[in-house]
Amino acid sequence: MGGAGRLRHLVMSDSQTVLGFPNLEEVFVFNCSELRYLFPNYTATTLEKLDTLCILKCEQMKEVVPKEEGGRSKAEVMSFHSLANLVIWRCPNIRAFIWSPTSAKRQLGEMIEENDESPQPLFNDMVTFPNLEKLYIGGVQCKELWNNQISDDSFCNLESLILKDCDNLQHIAPSHMWKRLQDCLETLEVKSCRSIEIIYESDGTVAKGGNLRTLDLRDLDNLRHVWQHDNLPNIPFPNLRYIKAVRCSRLDMLFATFTAKFLGQIEKLVVGSCEDMALIAGHEECEEVTGKTITFSGLTTLRLYNLPKFRSFLPEKYFTEFPSLDDSSRIEPDQGNRSAEESEGETEQVEHAIEKLDCESEVESEGQSEGE
């Protein structure tokens, strides 16, 4: 459904008719600029087979499922147990998937002010996604994706997480959520989220061997660390194959030298237009300088470009070996790279994310509406 600019309700939340969709499998909503929410609470509980939910360019939407009329929210936790793909893209006023009062107020059954605009994480303890595999979030203004009360069976199968244009987002995930995501997450893309300072945050406990294989970081103006090394006993992502960091101006190194020896399986590494990048792997203050040869045996593609402060791949007393590099690799830290892969520009659209969900018809419709 798209282009319904004046549509305000799909189902009225105060309707006397109970409307359910127990066989609905896919929902695509885009360019519905007046739509404030998608489904009332009861209707949402009937979506037993919903597999894919895409909400695009709904500027006035505040929640996917709203609080109950009269200022009360249901105490029951709602589960979208069949949902595998979720896209919320360019919905700047959305404040939560399901708006929730504080736990204390909910337990006491207190009335909640209708105009309560207190900050909320996008996902809270009022909803679970036990089988969600792909989550794409773009252009939302929330400061957190998850709070510390997320159900144990939620997001435990998430394979792909893409975040873009979330300028207020302070963290990718708190440490307790990272412990969960490490068991399942394979792809992480973070782009144009200008408040993010660190990707992986740890509480200092031993990290399990994570499944992450692709890490794509672009246009992160305040990013300082991919992961903090001083409190990690080992690396959080030992299965990484592809790392890309482009236009991360405050990032001065990707990882510490003590973790580099565990990254021999990396196959592709692209670093460009990072003004402060001096070393790919550098020393942490607590790290002993041992001096050794580090072999990146799996690395076939290496591209370094437009790095004005770049000195070397590793610090002095270290040596690197790249036995598998192919002829397409370029190490040109003083030059820009105009290849199509790195010069995405500012024209990237939501189609990239949606096409991964096989929603080409919806993308075409959106493109036609934009061109009118």
* Tens digits of residue pLDDT in 37-82: 898 888 888 999 999 999 999 999 999 998 764 433 454 788 999 9
pLDDT of residue 205: 65
The two three-digit tokens of residue 288, written as one number: 């002993």
pLDDT of residue 288: 56
Vertex 336, ends 331 and 342: CA angle to 5°? 85
- Helix ranges (H only) for the chain are 41-45, 103-108, 175-181, 257-260, 351-355, 360-371
Vertex 245, ends 192 and 93: CA angle to 5°? 15
pLDDT of residue 176: 86
In order, the DSSP letters of 225-292 are: EEE--TT-SS-S-TT--EEEEES-TT---SEEHHHHTT-TT--EEEEES-TT--BSEE--TT------
Taking only the tens of pLDDT, the chain with its 372 residues reads 544 455 555 555 555 556 788 899 999 998 888 888 898 888 888 999 999 999 999 999 999 998 764 433 454 788 999 999 999 999 999 989 998 765 434 444 444 454 556 678 999 988 999 999 999 999 999 999 998 888 899 999 999 999 999 999 999 998 889 889 988 999 999 999 999 999 988 776 655 668 999 999 999 999 998 986 555 556 667 889 999 999 999 999 998 877 777 778 899 999 999 999 999 988 765 555 555 788 888 999 999 999 999 999 888 878 888 999 988 777 777 766 544 344 444 334 444 545 555 554 443 444 444 444
Cα gap 137→154, rounded to integer Å:
17
Q: Is the separation of the CB atoms in 268 and 240 below 8 Å?
A: no
